[in-house]
Structure formats: C-alpha cells, structure tokens
Amino acid sequence: MVSAPPGRQAASGRKIGSRQSAGRQAGRKASKAGRGETRRRTPHRRPVRSLEDEPSPPRPLG
C-alpha cells in the first residue's frame, strides 16, 4: 500500500517536474541570452553612433 501512492506521486512529480524545469530553464536561458545580447549591443551601438555622428561632421568641415 505504501509503495503505490509514493510511486505514483513520484512518477507524476518527476515527469511534470522534468518537463516544467526543462521548459523553464530553456525559456530563462533563451530569454537571458537574447536580452543580454540586445542589452550589450544597444549600449555599444548607441555611444558608437553618437560619437561617430559628432566627430564625423567636424572632421570633413575642418
């Protein structure tokens, strides 16, 4: 009797847990990777563009 309920609960818990954990991990990893790349690229692009736009006109004019 004792082996029946824990076996069922453990099996269902493991299956559900593995699926949920895999989905959560994949979603979190993908979101973090995508967000990290976008965050890193945007700040680098913003200052680079602003710096290039500012010195570019004075160089040809000067």
Model pTM score: 0.11
Q: Which two tokens stand for residue 51?
A: 């710096």
Query: What single letter denotes the amino acid at residue 17?
Result: G
Of the chain, the percentage scoring pLDDT greater than 70 comes to 0
* Mean predicted confidence (pLDDT) in 56-61: 59
Q: Which two tokens stand for residue 26?
A: 């994949």
pLDDT at 40: 53
CA dist 17 and 57 (Å) reads: 59
Parse the chain into domains and list their residue ranges: 29-62
pLDDT at 60: 60
pLDDT at 62: 55
- Could you read off the pLDDT of 14-34 as tens digits, one per residue? 555 555 555 555 555 555 555
CA dist 15 and 28 (Å) reads: 20
pLDDT at 61: 57
